[in-house]
């Protein structure tokens, strides 16, 4: 399905109904943009929308009529400007050497020997013991 621009004439006299119309149209699948002119009461819907179904939904709120439906052409891509020649290499930057000191704080989840004698053991050393079902019904 191609994108369409549908112009609908709505008779909206209340702000509450106008908001409901916007919500109804925005919940329809395939809608990409919605605009409404409050003075003329025309709503413009752009997207891959089934216009008659949209009008049926809007007629539950207010009077709605289809004014026009047009097929929207996708925007044309502009030609990109030519890129500089790769044959002419850019000057190379000298490589920077960054050294990080290696300490036990760099690896917070690494096993440490102080865990062996501590009260709280790390999760990797824990065991789960399942007991048999000892429930008795009388």
pLDDT: is 111 or 16 the higher one? 16
**Which value, in Å, is the radius of gyration of the alpha carbons in the chain?**
34
Query: What is the layout of strands, in order, in the sheet containing 64-71?
Result: 31-37, 42-47, 4-10, 64-71
Q: Which tokens sit at 128?
A: 């789960």
Q: How many CB atoms lie within 10 A of CB 8?
A: 22
- Distance, in Å, from the CA atom of 81 to the CA atom of 65, rounded to the nearest integer, reads 46
31-37 and 4-10 beta bridge pairing: unpaired
Checking if the pLDDT of 134 tops 90, the result is no
Residue 37 pairs in a beta bridge with: 42
At 2 the pLDDT is: 80
Task: Say which CATH topology domain 4-71 has.
Answer: Alpha-Beta Plaits (3.30.70)
- Distance, in Å, from the CA atom of 138 to the CA atom of 127, rounded to the nearest integer, reads 33
Q: Where are the domains of the chain?
A: 4-71
8 A C-beta contact, residue 4 and residue 48: yes
Q: Which tokens sit at 112?
A: 């440490």
Kindly state the percentage of the chain with pLDDT values over 90.
Answer: 42
Question: pLDDT tens digit string along 87-119?
Answer: 666 666 666 666 655 555 555 555 555 555 555
Q: How many CB atoms lie within 10 A of CB 16?
A: 9
């Amino acid at each position: 399905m191609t994108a369409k621009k549908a112009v609908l004439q709505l008779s909206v006299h209340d702000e509450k109904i106008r908001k409901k119309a916007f919500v109804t149209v925005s919940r329809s699948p395939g809608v990409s943009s919605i605009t409404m002119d409050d003075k003329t009461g025309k709503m413009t819907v752009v997207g891959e929308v089934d216009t008659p179904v949209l009008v049926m939904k809007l007629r539950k709120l207010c009077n709605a009529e289809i004014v026009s439906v047009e097929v929207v052409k996708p925007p044309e891509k502009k030609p990109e400007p030519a890129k500089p020649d790769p044959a002419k290499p850019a000057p190379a930057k000298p490589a920077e050497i960054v050294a990080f000191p290696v300490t036990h704080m760099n690896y917070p989840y690494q096993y440490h020997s102080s865990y062996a004698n501590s009260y709280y053991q790390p999760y990797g050393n824990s065991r789960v013991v399942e007991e048999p079902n000892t429930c008795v019904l009388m």
